[in-house]
Amino acid sequence: MIQELKLGAVFALRNKLLLLSEMVLWQVYVFPFLVLFDWLTLTECAKAVVDLTHGQDVSTVYWPGNVDFNFTITTREQTQYYWYESNWFGTAEHGGTHLDSPCHFQKGKWRTHQIPPSRLIGPGIVINVTSQAANNADYKLSISDLESWEEMHGRIPEGAIVLMHSDWGVRYPNRSLVFNTNEPEKPSTFHFPGFHEDAASWLVTRRRVSIVGVDTPSVDHGQSIEFLVHQVLGQHNVPDLENVANLRQLPAKGFTVFVGVIKLVGGSGGPARILAVVDDDSEPSRGYVCLGVPALLIAELLFHIVHHNLF
């Protein structure tokens, strides 16, 4: 009787070991396909283009005092030979995702059409201040935020386009949430984060960056009355970007930003289509390779163990 039990246990163990080896072998078959899948999705990631632009329509958020966005359909009809569409639109310079030209707050500095095209393209940098902004809506991104970024990711390169990520983009286009007030027509009630003027000055003098941008409606925080960041940037002929969208989708570095601002002659700014092209070897792509394949293999093995009730 005892002998039989022992024999039964041995057989059971043998069966389990067989099943387990079969599964391990199965992993070997599956592995090349997983690598191929990962490589294909990685290629997809490597070419990722992130649109940093909110759409322009009647909901476009303007600073109080501006005329609302106007989109008028002029023609949408079938003619004798073709379908034809044409519209008229009107917008203030400073609405939605847009660029501020240096002349916006500094007399004699570059107007929109005068900004050299080379300044509108540059390596992108995201400074994440989401936790600071969550605790304090009046937060001003500081020099120490920039220094801690450099400790983790290296020196901010000359010609960089430096973007503040406060997670404000998800509030857009709700005016009360964007300006963080019950009175969106009253700037004195606004509470949203921006840059500290010292940080702006540090970026333009010590790092000679090309552009500074934010996901909020102004590079100066909501409670600002002197707009010192606008003044500092203007002094150094550095444009800024406001209401930048989708910063959640970007790594801290490893992407190139293209600022397609309207070439408005004599403008103090203008709506801009802003795109980020993520590098081949940026951090998230490496993450997919390093974690993706092993994670899929382990998940698969666990599935089989549970499926066959092995342990």
Residue nearest to Zn ion (CB): 94
Distance of CA 298 to the CA centre of its chain: 31
- Under the binding rule (CB under 5 A), the answer on residue 111 touching Zn ion is no
The residue (of 156 and 274) whose beta carbon lies closer to Zn ion is 274
How many whole angstroms separate alpha carbon 34 and alpha carbon 293? 6
Nearest C-alpha neighbor of 255 from the set 154, 158, 124: 124
Nearest C-alpha neighbor of 283 from the set 45, 35, 34, 44: 45
CB of 151 to Zn ion, least distance (A): 31
The residue (of 112 and 282) whose beta carbon lies closer to Zn ion is 112
Residue 85 Cα distances to 73, 75, 269, angstroms: 8, 5, 28
- Under the binding rule (CB under 5 A), the answer on residue 94 touching Zn ion is yes
CB of 212 to Zn ion, least distance (A): 12
CB of 291 to Zn ion, least distance (A): 40
CB of 91 to Zn ion, least distance (A): 12
Which of the stretches 99-107, 121-129, 257-265, 298-306 binds Zn ion when contact is defined by CB under 5 A?
A: 99-107
How many whole angstroms separate alpha carbon 170 and alpha carbon 179? 12
CB of 55 to Zn ion, least distance (A): 18
Structure tokens at 58: 């009647």
How many residues touch Zn ion under the rule CB under 5 A: the total is: 3
Compute φ and ψ for 48, nearest 5 degrees: -60, 130
Distance of CA 285 to the CA centre of its chain: 15
Tell me if residue 186 falls in helix, strand or coil. Answer: coil
Considering only 53, 69, 92, 100, the residue that binds Zn ion (CB under 5 A) is 100
Which of the stretches 50-58, 194-202, 267-275, 293-301 binds Zn ion when contact is defined by CB under 5 A?
A: 267-275
Site string for Zn ion, 268-287 (x = CB under 5 A): -x------------------
Which of the stretches 7-15, 31-39, 90-98, 182-190 binds Zn ion when contact is defined by CB under 5 A?
A: 90-98
The residue (of 102 and 269) whose beta carbon lies closer to Zn ion is 269
Which of the stretches 73-81, 84-92, 100-108, 199-207 binds Zn ion when contact is defined by CB under 5 A?
A: 100-108
CB of 286 to Zn ion, least distance (A): 36
The residue (of 180 and 218) whose beta carbon lies closer to Zn ion is 218
How many whole angstroms separate alpha carbon 179 and alpha carbon 189? 8
2-46 and 283-307 helices cross at what angle (nearest 10)? 150
Within 13 Å of residue 189, how many CA atoms lie on the same side as its CB?
13
Owner of token pair 């609302």:
68
CB of 217 to Zn ion, least distance (A): 8
- Under the binding rule (CB under 5 A), the answer on residue 220 touching Zn ion is no
Ranges of H-type helices in the chain: 2-46, 130-135, 143-153, 175-179, 197-206, 228-235, 283-307
Owner of token pair 């989401």:
130
CB of 96 to Zn ion, least distance (A): 10
What does R_g of the chain's alpha carbons equal in angstroms?
27
Residue 134 Cα distances to 128, 139, 244, angstroms: 12, 9, 18
List residues binding Zn ion (CB under 5 A): 94, 100, 269
